[in-house]
């Protein structure tokens, strides 16, 4: 990992889990695998705090552990995954996706599980139902059954999965607290998909009875939820020890598909994108996550699966498919002629094209459209001499030279020397300019990490600058709240409200605006990060 | 005795010379050594060579090389008359320039080829220029470099730079205007196709325009003072491809169709970009010129960034 990644990880850890975890996490990031004692010693943190921090990290799937360098008999070593920590940046997007697919309930389920790392189903259902009820008007409540439905649909679509069992004897949490015990020296549970029932819902929840259990032990909120409760099921719900976590890979597949679909929509049209969406949906389950192509589907199958609202007749569908195949972006390929033509979606090709478009867009926005012309030209023609660049791009020699050298100094363009004689004399050497897409994508990815880091830094700075105002407004809101609760006069309330002066109010308003802007930019940059990361990953696994 | 012999020889030489000239007139395409030998079997090779050399040095004969050996040809009288009153050096320089054709030749290269001192060459060049035998043309490749070519020649495209140059300056504005006009044409065509509500295949096919159509459109617009060829328009269309705004397909066409070159027809169509500007460039950091120097706690830092402040207050 790079310095930029570590910096961003540190910022994210601090934001989500506080200073101690940040310290432990960053130290682990920097030094690779460490055992508990070394970690405590090197971070100068008490053993207890280190254990707790590790516990947090393990809980969120960011830390793995296994036998150390000295074999199974030696102390356990811990290792944090930079990648997993960086996924925290994407949490808002996961939650938003869950919301757009499964409504408010889905959003809350996702939010709860992301916040806690892993949860049992019964716990999640209870908390979410409570929260939903709280936001409802008096007299209304959420049935646990609704939440269970949303939860099970998230599981069915593989957005949630069971945490892989760590050890048959010990549960996940206790393992991290007794790290020196030789019993837990199994390999890291990295592939939850390997477990056959990772998407199997525990039976008891489907009966819909355990969900009302909470009402008798909880106070006002629970009582409202379980108005219809019969109060007889106070025993365990039957899913103890079965913890659920968010399947980020599945989300990433979803994001990737969305990116492809929207690219098709803007390149071709809405109907084509709908056809691609259908193809992706059909092959969703059968295609392995890192495959270069989706499973081939026949035109007949596509025809049956396209939503009828689009009203596409068979010949038209064939035409659309031909167009998609003919398109130079090659999002869709033809795999055979059986069944009216077998079609695949070129996932890796699509990612490469999207990444290329991203690079082009960065050059275009940063250096202007003429530099982008040179950049695209080099991407198309691979190797060109300076003179050729000028001629093809139709840019005056002086400007073209300037742009080329700027791009070169920013490492977006590379220079290849080919000497005619062994002495590398400049007059007898070809100087060829070229663009290497993969290294450039890596470079931009690092820039993205730094940019997000900067945005977070700035956000923290803005909050710190306005700390006094924020505290004051919070205090006043608290006073207002308590006054309202005690039934104070409206005049009194107005008086308290006026304690925040107009300029202060303005400043707070500006701060809110700033923070929103920074937040949304973080998410936007994360979209770029996602595209570049997937592209880099796809090229490395196709080799 | 010797005197007589010399005299006799010299008359012989003159005879031979005249005979060679006659032969050359008979065969305007040139004669080989073999022809002369067959014609004058009694003349020794040495004498023949002497005669030929004299003719060559007088500039009355041209030496050419073709597939089956050397070829002698009578120099056309016109150029010979042009060179009347010039000395050998001038002729040499003229010949070098003539050989360079419409590409022209640089004075330094003349010096290398002729082995004459530069001052001498400059004098000769000035002389020839004043006689309107040659002209100097400024090359676009290097603005200070003058190349010389015969007066009646049209300079090559590589020297003048073609339609895109006026007085050695690249007309980038002209190129940009053409670029935009071509794009407008293709785009309107694509839009019309999209609005036609026909089947997708027809829609796509009608959004294509051949380079000939674009060429005609540009010509009819009348924005260009110079005559543009179809190749010129194709180079412009290529820049649009590099701009990512246009796609090109090549289809086979019957020879003789309008806009068809070598049985191929180039079709262009305007396309939409596949993505909007990416998220990174929507932040100030994505466009920051001092991005690499930016560190928390440094002179340039995210907290004190002026770009960021301006952007936040926007």
d(CA A253, CA A280): 10
Residue A255 forms contact with B (CB below 8 Å): no
d(CA B259, CA B266): 8
Beta carbons of A8 and A29 less than 8 angstroms apart:
no
Interface A-B: count of C-beta contacts within 8 A: 148
Q: In what order do the strands lie in the sheet with B146-150?
A: B105-106, B146-150, B134-138
Q: What is the reported pTM?
A: 0.80
In a domain, B2, yes or no: no
Is B286 in Cβ contact with A447 (below 8 Å)?
Answer: yes
Residue B312 forms contact with A (CB below 8 Å): yes
Residue A507 forms contact with B (CB below 8 Å): no
Q: Is B127 found in the same domain as B112?
A: yes
Q: What is the pLDDT of residue A524?
A: 93
Q: Return the CATH number at B242.
A: 1.10.10
Interval A418-424 mean pLDDT: 90
Beta carbons of B300 and B294 less than 8 angstroms apart:
yes
Q: Is B235 found in the same domain as B157?
A: no
Choose among B239, B273, B296: nearest Cβ to A266. B273
Choose among B200, B236, B282: nearest Cβ to A320. B200
Q: Which residue of B has its CA nearest to A319?
A: B201
Q: What does the pLDDT look like over B44-84, one tens digit per residue?
A: 778 878 887 887 777 677 777 777 777 777 766 555 556 66
Angle at B140 between CA B139 and CA B144, to 5 degrees: 60
Q: Is B263 found in the same domain as B180?
A: yes
Q: Is B178 found in the same domain as B152?
A: no
Q: How far is CA A411 from CA A448, A449, B300, in A?
A: 15, 17, 21
Is A366 in Cβ contact with B281 (below 8 Å)?
Answer: yes
Q: What is the pLDDT of residue A228?
A: 38
> Which residue of A261, A306, A361 is the best one to mutate when testing the B interface, meaning the one whose CB has the most B CBs within 10 A?
A361
Beta carbons of B115 and B107 less than 8 angstroms apart:
no
Which pLDDT band, with edges at 50, 70 and 90, does A434 fall under? very high
**Parallel/antiparallel/unpaired status of strands B134-138 and B146-150:** antiparallel
**CB contacts, 8 Å: B281 with chain A:** 361-362, 365-366
In a domain, B306, yes or no: yes
Residue B236 forms contact with A (CB below 8 Å): yes
d(CA B111, CA B89): 11
Is it the case that residue A430 has pLDDT exceeding 70?
yes
Is A451 in Cβ contact with B285 (below 8 Å)?
Answer: yes
For helices B2-26 and B45-58, what crossing angle results, to 10°? 70
State both tokens at B259: 């806009």
Name the H helices within chain B: 2-26, 33-39, 45-58, 77-82, 88-100, 107-114, 118-130, 157-160, 172-195, 200-207, 211-221, 230-242, 284-287, 306-313
**CB contacts, 8 Å: B170 with chain A:** 396-397
The distance of Cα A407 from the centroid of its chain, to the nearest Å, equals 31
How far B311 CA lies from chain A's nearest CA (Å)?
A: 9
The count of C-alpha atoms lying within 13 angstroms of the C-alpha of A93, restricted to the half-sphere facing its C-beta, is 24
Instruction: Give the single-character DSSP code of A212.
Output: G
Beta carbons of A332 and A325 less than 8 angstroms apart:
yes
Is B239 in Cβ contact with A392 (below 8 Å)?
Answer: yes
The count of C-alpha atoms lying within 13 angstroms of the C-alpha of A528, restricted to the half-sphere facing its C-beta, is 32
Choose among B200, B244, B305: nearest Cβ to A316. B200
In a domain, B56, yes or no: yes
Which pLDDT band, with edges at 50, 70 and 90, does A469 fall under? confident
Q: Is B126 found in the same domain as B39?
A: no
Q: What ipTM was estimated for this complex?
A: 0.80
Is it the case that residue A206 has pLDDT exceeding 70?
no
In this predicted model, which residue has the larger pLDDT, B28 or A106? A106
Q: What is the pLDDT of residue B265?
A: 85
In a domain, B167, yes or no: no
> What radius of gyration do chain A's Cα atoms show?
28
> Which residue of B173, B191, B200 is the best one to mutate when testing the A interface, meaning the one whose CB has the most A CBs within 10 A?
B200
Residue A366 forms contact with B (CB below 8 Å): yes
The distance of Cα A25 from the centroid of its chain, to the nearest Å, equals 19
Highest mean pLDDT among A105-114, B10-19, B249-258: A105-114
How far A362 CA lies from chain B's nearest CA (Å)?
A: 6
d(CA A393, CA B179): 11
> Which residue of A454, A456, A514, A527 is the best one to mutate when testing the B interface, meaning the one whose CB has the most B CBs within 10 A?
A454
- The residue whose two tokens read 């074999």 is A71
Choose among A374, A455, A513: nearest Cβ to B283. A455
Q: Is B266 found in the same domain as B176?
A: yes
State both tokens at B121: 């060459």
Q: What does the pLDDT look like over A245-274, one tens digit per residue?
A: 899 989 999 999 999 999 999 988 888 999
Is A323 in Cβ contact with B201 (below 8 Å)?
Answer: yes
Q: Give Dmax (Cα) for chain B.
A: 113
Q: Which residue of B has its CA nearest to A399?
A: B172
For helices A437-465 and A3-17, what crossing angle results, to 10°? 40
CA dihedral of A65, A68, A74, A76, whole degrees rounded to 10:
-20
The count of C-alpha atoms lying within 13 angstroms of the C-alpha of A524, restricted to the half-sphere facing its C-beta, is 20
Q: What does the pLDDT look like over A123-148, one tens digit per residue?
A: 888 888 888 887 776 667 777 788 88
**CB contacts, 8 Å: A392 with chain B:** 238-239, 242
Q: What does the pLDDT look like over B145-187, one tens digit per residue?
A: 788 888 888 777 777 767 777 766 778 888 888 899 999 999 9
Q: What does the pLDDT look like over A399-416, one tens digit per residue?
A: 999 999 999 999 999 999
Residue A373 forms contact with B (CB below 8 Å): yes
> Which residue of A322, A382, A528, A535 is the best one to mutate when testing the B interface, meaning the one whose CB has the most B CBs within 10 A?
A528
Q: Is B242 found in the same domain as B203?
A: yes
Total structural domains within chain B: 4
Q: Is B300 found in the same domain as B226?
A: no
Q: Is B260 found in the same domain as B309?
A: no
Percent of chain A with pLDDT over 90: 45
Interval B195-224 mean pLDDT: 86
Structural domain including B221 reads: 172-270
Residue A317 forms contact with B (CB below 8 Å): no
Q: Burial level of A526, CB count in 10 A (0-12/13-18/19+)?
A: buried
Q: Which residues contact A60 (CB under 8 A, 6 or more apart)?
A: A84, A117, A118
Q: What is the pLDDT of residue A20?
A: 93
Q: Is B84 found in the same domain as B64?
A: no
Q: What does the pLDDT look like over B252-304, one tens digit per residue?
A: 887 777 777 777 888 898 888 888 888 899 999 999 989 999 988 888 999 99
State both tokens at A13: 């850890």
Interval A284-300 mean pLDDT: 86
In a domain, B166, yes or no: no
Q: Which residue of B has its CA nearest to A376?
A: B242
Choose among B274, B279, B312: nearest Cβ to A527. B279
Beta carbons of B24 and B73 less than 8 angstroms apart:
yes
Choose among A319, A393, A397: nearest Cβ to B239. A393
In a domain, B4, yes or no: no
Phi and psi at residue A471, in whole multiples of 5°?
-65, -40
Q: What does the pLDDT look like over B99-114, one tens digit per residue?
A: 888 888 888 888 888 8
Is A510 in Cβ contact with B287 (below 8 Å)?
Answer: no
Q: Is B182 found in the same domain as B155?
A: no
**CB contacts, 8 Å: A450 with chain B:** 285, 291, 294
d(CA B141, CA A367): 26
Lowest mean pLDDT across A71-85, A194-208, A348-362, A499-513: A194-208
Is A320 in Cβ contact with B172 (below 8 Å)?
Answer: no
Q: How far is CA B103 from CA A19, A287, B250, in A?
A: 74, 61, 33
Lowest mean pLDDT across A130-144, A153-167, A374-388, B87-101: A130-144
Phi and psi at residue A496, in whole multiples of 5°?
-65, -40
DSSP secondary structure string, B7-73? HHHHHHHHHHHHHHHHHHHH-TT-B-HHHHHHH-TTS-HHHHHHHHHHHHHHTSEEEEEETTEEEEE
In a domain, B275, yes or no: no
Residue A454 forms contact with B (CB below 8 Å): yes
How far A332 CA lies from chain B's nearest CA (Å)?
A: 14
**Parallel/antiparallel/unpaired status of strands B209-210 and B264-270:** antiparallel
Q: Which residues contact B207 (CB under 8 A, 6 or more apart)?
A: B189, B190, B193, B194, B269, B270
In a domain, B57, yes or no: yes
Q: Give Dmax (Cα) for chain A.
A: 94
Is B238 in Cβ contact with A396 (below 8 Å)?
Answer: no
Q: Is B222 found in the same domain as B146?
A: no
How far B179 CA lies from chain A's nearest CA (Å)?
A: 10
Choose among A329, A394, A513: nearest Cβ to B274. A329
Residue A311 forms contact with B (CB below 8 Å): no
d(CA A207, CA A223): 21
Q: Return the CATH number at B154.
A: 1.10.10.10
Is it the case that residue A297 has pLDDT exceeding 80?
yes
Residue A318 forms contact with B (CB below 8 Å): no
Q: What is the pLDDT of residue A218?
A: 40
């Amino acid at each position: 990992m790079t310095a930029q990644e570590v910096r961003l990880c540190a910022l994210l850890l601090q934001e989500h889990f506080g200073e101690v975890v940040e310290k432990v996490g960053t130290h682990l990031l920097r030094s690779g695998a460490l055992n508990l004692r070394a970690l405590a010693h090197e971070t100068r943190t008490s053993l207890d705090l280190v254990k707790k921090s590790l516990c947090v990290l393990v809980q969120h799937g960011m830390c793995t552990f296994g036998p150390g360098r000295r074999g199974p008999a030696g102390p356990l070593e811990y290792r944090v995954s930079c990648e997993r920590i960086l996924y925290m940046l994407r949490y808002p997007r996961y939650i938003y996706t869950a919301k757009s697919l499964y409504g408010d309930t889905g959003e809350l389920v996702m939010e709860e599980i992301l916040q806690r790392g892993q949860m049992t189903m019964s716990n999640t259902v209870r908390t979410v139902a409570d929260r939903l009820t709280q936001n409802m008007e008096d007299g209304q409540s959420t049935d646990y059954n609704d939440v269970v439905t949303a939860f099970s649909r998230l599981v069915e679509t593989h957005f949630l999965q069971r945490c892989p069992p760590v050890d048959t004897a010990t549960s996940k949490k206790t393992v991290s607290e007794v790290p020196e015990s030789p019993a837990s020296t199994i390999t890291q549970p990295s592939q939850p998909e390997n477990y056959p029932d990772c998407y199997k819902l525990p039976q008891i929840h489907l009966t819909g009875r355990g969900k009302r259990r909470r009402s008798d032990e909880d106070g006002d909120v629970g009582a409202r939820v379980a108005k219809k409760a019969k109060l007889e099921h106070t025993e365990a719900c039957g899913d103890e020890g079965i913890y659920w976590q968010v399947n980020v890979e599945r989300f990433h597949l979803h994001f990737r598909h969305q990116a492809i679909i929207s690219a098709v929509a803007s390149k071709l049209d809405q109907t084509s994108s709908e056809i691609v969406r259908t193809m992706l949906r059909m092959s969703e389950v059968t295609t392995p996550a890192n495959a270069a192509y989706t499973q081939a589907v026949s035109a007949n199958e596509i025809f049956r699966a396209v939503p009828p609202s689009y009203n596409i007749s068979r010949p038209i569908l064939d035409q659309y498919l031909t167009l998609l195949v003919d398109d130079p972006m090659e999002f869709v390929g033809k795999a055979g002629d059986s069944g009216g033509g077998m079609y695949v979606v070129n996932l890796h090709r699509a990612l490469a094209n999207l990444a290329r478009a991203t690079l082009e867009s960065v050059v275009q926005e940063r250096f202007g459209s003429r530099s982008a012309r040179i950049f695209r030209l080099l991407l198309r023609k691979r190797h060109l001499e300076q003179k050729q660049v000028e001629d093809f791009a139709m840019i005056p020699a002086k400007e073209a030279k300037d742009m080329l050298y700027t791009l070169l100094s920013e490492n977006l363009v590379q220079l290849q020397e080919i000497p005619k004689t062994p002495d590398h004399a400049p007059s007898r050497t070809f100087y060829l300019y070229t663009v290497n897409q993969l290294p450039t994508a890596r470079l931009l990815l690092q820039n993205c990490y730094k940019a997000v880091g900067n945005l977070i830094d700035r956000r923290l700075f803005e909050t710190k600058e306005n700390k006094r105002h924020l505290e004051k407004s919070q205090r006043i809101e608290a006073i207002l709240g308590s006054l309202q609760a005690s039934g104070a006069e409206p005049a009194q309330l107005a008086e308290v409200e006026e304690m925040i002066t107009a300029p202060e109010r303005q400043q707070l308003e500006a701060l809110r605006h700033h923070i929103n802007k920074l937040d949304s930019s973080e998410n936007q940059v994360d979209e770029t990060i996602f595209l570049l990361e997937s592209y880099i990953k796809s090229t490395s696994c196709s080799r | 005795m010797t005197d007589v012999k010399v005299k006799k020889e010299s008359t012989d030489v003159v005879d031979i010379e005249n005979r060679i000239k006659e032969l050359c007139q008979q065969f305007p395409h040139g004669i080989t050594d073999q022809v002369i030998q067959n014609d004058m079997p009694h003349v020794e090779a040495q004498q023949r060579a002497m005669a030929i050399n004299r003719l060559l040095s007088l500039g009355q004969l041209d030496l050419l090389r073709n597939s089956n050996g050397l070829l002698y040809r009578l120099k056309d009288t016109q150029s010979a008359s042009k060179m009347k009153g010039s000395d050998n050096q001038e002729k040499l320089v003229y010949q070098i320039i003539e050989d360079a054709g419409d590409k022209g030749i640089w004075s330094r290269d003349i010096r290398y080829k002729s082995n004459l001192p530069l001052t001498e060459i400059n004098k000769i060049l000035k002389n020839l220029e004043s006689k309107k035998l040659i002209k100097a043309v400024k090359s676009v490749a290097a603005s200070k470099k003058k190349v010389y070519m015969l007066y009646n020649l049209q300079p090559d495209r590589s020297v003048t730079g073609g339609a895109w140059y006026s007085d050695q300056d690249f007309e980038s504005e002209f190129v940009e205007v053409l670029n935009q006009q071509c794009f407008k044409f293709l785009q309107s065509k694509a839009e019309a196709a999209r609005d036609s509500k026909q089947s997708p295949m027809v829609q796509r096919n009608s959004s294509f325009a051949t380079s000939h159509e674009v060429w005609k459109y540009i010509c009819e617009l009348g924005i260009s003072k110079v005559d543009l060829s179809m190749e010129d328009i194709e180079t412009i269309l290529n820049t649009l491809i590099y701009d990512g705004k246009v796609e090109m397909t090549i289809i086979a066409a019957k020879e003789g169709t309008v806009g068809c070159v070598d049985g191929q027809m180039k079709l262009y169509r305007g396309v939409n970009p596949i993505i909007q500007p990416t998220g990174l460039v929507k932040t100030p950091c994505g466009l920051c010129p001092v991005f690499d120097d930016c560190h928390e706690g440094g002179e340039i830092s995210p907290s004190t960034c002026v770009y960021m402040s301006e952007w936040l207050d926007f």
